[in-house]
Amino acid sequence: MAGGAREVLTLQLGHFAGFVGAHWWNQQDAALGRATDAKEPPGELCPDVLYRTGRTLHGQETYTPRLILMDLKGSLSSLKEEGGLYKDKQLDAAIAWQGKLTTHKEELYPKNPYLQDFLSAEGVLCSDGVWRVKSIPNDKEGSIRVWSDFLRVHLHPRSICMIQKYNHDGEAGRLEAFGQGEGVLKEPKYQEELEDRLHFYVEECDYLQGFQILCDLHDGFSGVGAKAAEMLQDEYSGRGIITWGLLPGPYHRGEARRNIYRLLNTAFGLVHLTAHSSLVCPLSLDGSLGLRPGPPVNFPYLHYDATLPFHCSAILATALDTFTAPYRLCSSPVSMVQLADMLSFCGKKVVTAGATIPFPLAPGQSLPDSLMQLGGATPWTPLSACGDLSGTRCFAQSVVLRGIDRACHTSQLTPGTPPPSSLHACTTGEEVLAQYLQQQQPRVMSSSHLLLTPCRVVPPYPHLFSSCSPLGMVPDGSLKGAAVESIPVFGALCSSSSLHRALEALAGDLTKLDLRRWASFMDAGVEHDDVAELLQELRSLAQCYQDGD
């Protein structure tokens, strides 16, 4: 791999993981497109960490995500399972057999008729001479039903692995329960298919630092993820395994079966993924992991519809693009193993996430000005469904602030002007950020990174920004409807005492269940003893985060 990149292999498991992944890869693709722009800062993030080079049968060079994704029958819409890059029409026509042929062709899913004009490969020529993808109008965003409707990145033929025995649509044949998901990867067919794809990608890596798993927690893919993490741990010992457990929002009130299954799958998924991962982070815009949902989280400068996976997944992908920056840096990167070790001491392998999207920096403001305006409150919106963070303690944190112009990093006070705060006296942006974190969380182990590179949010990213300039700076609300192309983001992963309360509440909800009413979940491969063991492990995990430990 060129440049000695420390490669990461991504696994996307589940349909909401597909939504988050589609936005994530679109954002990576948009960043690649800006790499040749002279106005852009020199590359801080190494794309070779996530991407691989290859060649088609015609010798054309390709650059595709190092990715394995699993989803259910019917989830691809018009996207072909083998992708479109490596198809060779001449080879298709060269058939050695000269006798009579009978072709059985499965009918393709039609392209989404509401989106064809907006997701065309050609895009539109804008007034500045740049070709851009058309924005999807707000009234069309609700028509996006599958992630493949808006994925704009070419995938390698070894990326997509479909689970044909379960259906994406309809009420029958669904992958609903943790035990079903575990069972998928116990079947030789799917186990061998996953192992073959893993070997294909891993064997071409010069220095594989590890695996990042994007996994649905709310349905049977929690079991798929747990089994996949176990396979990785067994076969690639010593590599980092960072799992992002994804939960769409909001709850479906009145749908008892779905909510109970969500509770059970989340609990089983968290415990089993924690056993086999270096680090696990639940990601959700919901307010709670348990049966009593809180309202969706609020972002001061975002207007999103919590019922649309297209919106929720875009926000989580933006946060994810920021959290993962430390192990994707070109220079002095923190490896996945180092990041996990720093955050997961004393058995604390589950972490919470939070982000400020976009980071509020008004024109003319400096970074010290903006940080001082945030005051003493927690600066980021919680993204791990662990409730209100007030009064909770942070044990260790990894913080990334990105997209702030270097000229704004420090205060530009005229000589002789007394600095209004200690932050204004700092001489570098890195010093400003480190001192701010020290003031906010004294005696907390912190790792911080300040990057010039913003997060790209060009179409088909949804219309979420109501009062931002095209560069994501937040004015005084005077600029409405501007086309935002990139934004500054402030994100953190934290080992937090809020997990003690959240995990205890999850265990409490489980103890109230009458499992006899949910025999269908148990019939999928879970025993009553498994539930008892789950409760014990959940409470043991919760104790790791007790304040004062």
Per residue in 327-340, pLDDT (tens digit) is: 999 988 899 999 99
476 against 325, higher pLDDT: 325
Q: List all residues 6 or more positions away from 157 whose beta carbon is below 8 Å from its beta carbon.
A: 82, 83, 85, 86
Averaged pLDDT for residues 351-369: 93
Indicate the pLDDT class of residue 122, thresholds 50, 70 and 90: very low
Q: Quick check: 327 and 333 in contact, CB under 8 A?
A: yes
**CB neighbours of residue 118 within 10 Å:** 18
Query: What is the dihedral angle through the alpha carbons of 196, 201, 205, 207, rounded to the nearest 10 degrees?
Result: -80
Instruction: Tell me 415's DSSP state.
Output: T
* pLDDT at residue 42 tops 70: no
pLDDT in the model for residue 134: 66
CA 116, CA 35: separation in Å to the nearest integer? 28
Q: List all residues 6 or more positions away from 135 whose beta carbon is below 8 Å from its beta carbon.
A: 118, 459, 460, 463, 483
pLDDT in the model for residue 454: 95
Beta bridge partners of 62: 54
User: Which residue ranges make up each domain of the chain?
Assistant: 352-497
Averaged pLDDT for residues 259-288: 95
Q: Which of 44, 129, 10, 87 is nearest to 455 (CA)?
A: 44
pTM, entire model: 0.90
- pLDDT, the chain, mean: 85
469 against 140, higher pLDDT: 140
Cis peptide before 250 (omega within 30 of 0): yes
CA 536, CA 520: separation in Å to the nearest integer? 23
Taking the mean position of all CA atoms in its chain, how far away is CA 258? 23
What pLDDT digit, counting tens, does each position of 515-539 carry?
888 888 888 888 889 999 999 999 9
